[in-house]
Amino acid sequence: MNIADEIKRLHELHQAGALTDAEFAQAKAKLLSSIGGGASASQSANNAFSGVDDSLAQLNHFRRSKRDRWLGGICGGLGKFTGMESWLWRLLFVFFTCYFGAGLVAYVLAWIFVPEDE
């Protein structure tokens, strides 16, 4: 039984009068927290019903670096975002540019679309 079915079943029991408001809220919170891997009930509900994943929300924090830059600050921003050294990102972009040709395209697109750090 998936989470939607469980919540529907709880709602039906609540509507039938088998569960009080407090019991319904507690059971719903417990169900959502067990599914969400320990996250709060409201976070789990938001993630389950809005389709927003935490990793996508964190991606919105990716910015081009103003201090650690050679060209556009993409590698410095990636270094700050991932915790890797920026020189490793530079090396990866050079490698993908030389061997596949996609590194330069990806860098230019990121330079255009990724906002600069404030």
Each residue's pLDDT tens digit, 80-115? 888 888 888 889 888 888 988 788 888 888 888 888
pLDDT band at 29 (very low <50, low <70, confident <90, very high): confident
In a domain, 118, yes or no: no
Residues of the domain holding 46: 3-53
pLDDT, position 39: 47
Q: Give the count of domains, the chain.
A: 2
Q: Same domain for 43 and 65?
A: no
Q: Same domain for 78 and 47?
A: no
Q: Same domain for 77 and 42?
A: no
Give dist(CA 40, CA 30) in Å, integer. Answer: 9
Q: Same domain for 49 and 91?
A: no
Dihedral sign, Cα of residue 21, residue 22, residue 25, residue 26: negative
Q: Same domain for 108 and 71?
A: yes
Give dist(CA 64, CA 73) in Å, integer. Answer: 5
pLDDT band at 70 (very low <50, low <70, confident <90, very high): confident
Phi, psi of 116 (to 5 degrees): -80, 145
pLDDT, position 25: 84
